[in-house]
Amino acid sequence: MKILVCISHVPDTTSKINFTDGDTKFDTNGVQYVINPNDEFGLTRAMWFKEKQGASVDVVNVGGPETEPTLRKALAIGADSAIRVNTEAKDGFAVAKELAKVVTDGGYDLVIAGRESIDYNGGMVPGMLSELVGANFVTNCISLEVDGTNAKAVREIDGGKETVNTSLPLVIGGQKGLVEESDLRIPNMRGIMMARKKPLNVVEPIGANAETAANSFEKPAPKGAVKLVDADNIDELINLLHNEAKVI
């Protein structure tokens, strides 16, 4: 089985979010980048397939040279090779089109992406990719088993979960549950050394057009101070929620 894991290069979850150039660009100053958490669950599940069932695992990112340390980390975790499509990730559709070329050229059976990235939260790349390459698609995926060309997946739905049967070729939008938090791997020194020697292939983009553009950014208005209510005066809290906030 040939597996491709899509890796987004995103600001660490603890990052302070600021903008520059008149609020038109994300301020990368002092920001640490990581593998998108949803993608890391998928990568770890892919490693499980490689080790238990036999599979090759490649990782891919659409982005500039600055994303290579994130791809190297994925190699250090255990991926066999990496591909970087050398273009700025303009919007979800443009990224999906670039990825579609990589999937078709590489003949991948299973593509695992995160259900969304934690920077733009669009949640659209995996679904669009599946349509573009004509593969089956399951998102919010919290469990995945593959047997030959058949697959069984569990999808989180509002208020529960749903078990589905499907087949390869398949695109997954993964999240926590594909593996547990405790299964995530921190690259060890040997992994890091080996990752340096693994192939990281830079491919040129097809030049897909973006359909959307984030022209400017805003931060939420600053909050007023919290109103503290005495622990012995719960009636006051109920009064405030009813008469002031009007939420009960």
Partner 1 sequence: MSVLVYTESENGKLKKAALECVSYAKAIANDMGTSVTAIAINANDVDTLGNYGADKVLNVKDDALNPFNAKKYAGVIEQAAKKADSKVVVVSSSADSKYLAPLLAVGLEAGYVSNVVEKPSSLSPFTVKRTAFTNKAFANTEISTDVKLVGLSNNSFGLVESGGSASIEDFSPSISESGVTVESVDKAAGKVTIADAEVVVSGGRGLKGPENWGLVEDLAEVLGAATACSKPVSDLGWRSHSEHVGQTGKPVATNLYIAIGISGAIQHLAGISASKVKVVINTDPEAPFFKAADYGIVGDAFEVVPVLTEKLKAFKAQNA
Listing DSSP states for 133-147 in one string gives HT-EEEEEEEEEEEE
Least distance to partner 1, CB of residue 214, Å: 4
Question: The tokens of 210 are what?
Answer: 């973006």
Considering only residues 109 to 138 of the shown chain, the ones binding partner 1 according to CB under 8 A are 118-128, 130-132, 136-138
Q: Give the binding range for partner 1 (CB under 8 A) out of 54-62, 105-113, 157-165, 195-203.
A: 157-165
Least distance to partner 1, CB of residue 7, Å: 16
Considering only residues 171 to 210 of the shown chain, the ones binding partner 1 according to CB under 8 A are 175-177, 181-182, 210
Rounded to whole angstroms, the Cα distance separating 125 from 173 reads 9
Q: Count Cβ atoms below 10 Å from residue 169 Cβ, excluding itself.
A: 18
The contacts of residue 121 (CB under 8 Å, 6+ apart) are none
Q: Count Cβ atoms below 10 Å from residue 130 Cβ, excluding itself.
A: 24
Binder among 22, 32, 223, 243 for partner 1 (CB under 8 A): 223
Q: Give the binding range for partner 1 (CB under 8 A) out of 64-72, 102-110, 153-161, 193-201.
A: 153-161
Least distance to partner 1, CB of residue 29, Å: 15
Answer yes or no: are the C-beta atoms of 113 and 146 closer than 8 Å.
no
Least distance to partner 1, CB of residue 68, Å: 23
Position 228 contacts partner 1 (CB under 8 A): yes
